[in-house]
Amino acid sequence: MDVLSDVLRSVRLTGAVFFDMEAHSPWVGVTPRSEVIAGLVMREAEHVICFHVVTAGTCWVELADSSLPPMALSAGDVVVVGKGDPHFLCSTPGMRAEADLAVYQRPAGRRLPIPHVLSETTGGVETCHFVCGYLGCDLRPFNPLLNALPRLFPARASTASQGWLANLLRTAVDETEDDKAGRETMLAKLAELLFVDILRKHIGELADGQPGWFSGLRDRHIGAALRLIHAEPSRDWTLDSLAHAAGLSRSIFAKRFNDLIGAPPIEYLVRWRVQLAARLLDQGVRIAETASSVGYKSEATFSRVFKRFAGAPPGAWREGRLKHDGG
Contact 173, 19 (CB under 8 A): no
- Count of CA atoms in the C-beta half-sphere (13 A) of 126: 10
CA dihedral (138, 139, 140, 146) positive or negative: positive
Say if pTM beats, i.e. exceeds, 0.85: yes
Q: What is the pLDDT of residue 121?
A: 59
Average pLDDT on 142-146 reads 94
Residue 244: left if φ>0, alpha if ψ -120 to 50, beta else—which one?
alpha
Residues 6+ apart with CB under 8 A from 32: 86, 99, 101
CA–CA dist 282, 272 (Å, integer): 15
pLDDT of residue 170 exceeding 80, the answer is no
181 pLDDT more than 80: no
End-to-end CA distance of the chain: 36
Name which residue leads in pLDDT, 50 or 198. Answer: 50
- The whole-number pLDDT of residue 300 equals 96
Question: In the structure, what pLDDT confidence band is assigned to residue 180 with cuts at 50, 70 and 90?
Answer: low
Tens of pLDDT, residues 270-303 = 999 999 999 999 999 999 999 999 999 999 999 9
- Give yes or no for residue 39 having a pLDDT over 80: yes
Q: Which domains are delineated in the chain?
A: 3-205 (2.60.120.280), 213-326 (1.10.10.60)
Compute the chain's Rg from CA coordinates.
22
Report the chain's mean pLDDT, rounded to a whole number.
88
Q: Report, as an integer, the average pLDDT of 140-153.
A: 92
Please tell me the distance from the alpha carbon of residue 312 to that of residue 308, in angstroms, as a whole number. 7
Other CB atoms closer than 10 Å to residue 100's CB: what's the count?
Answer: 10
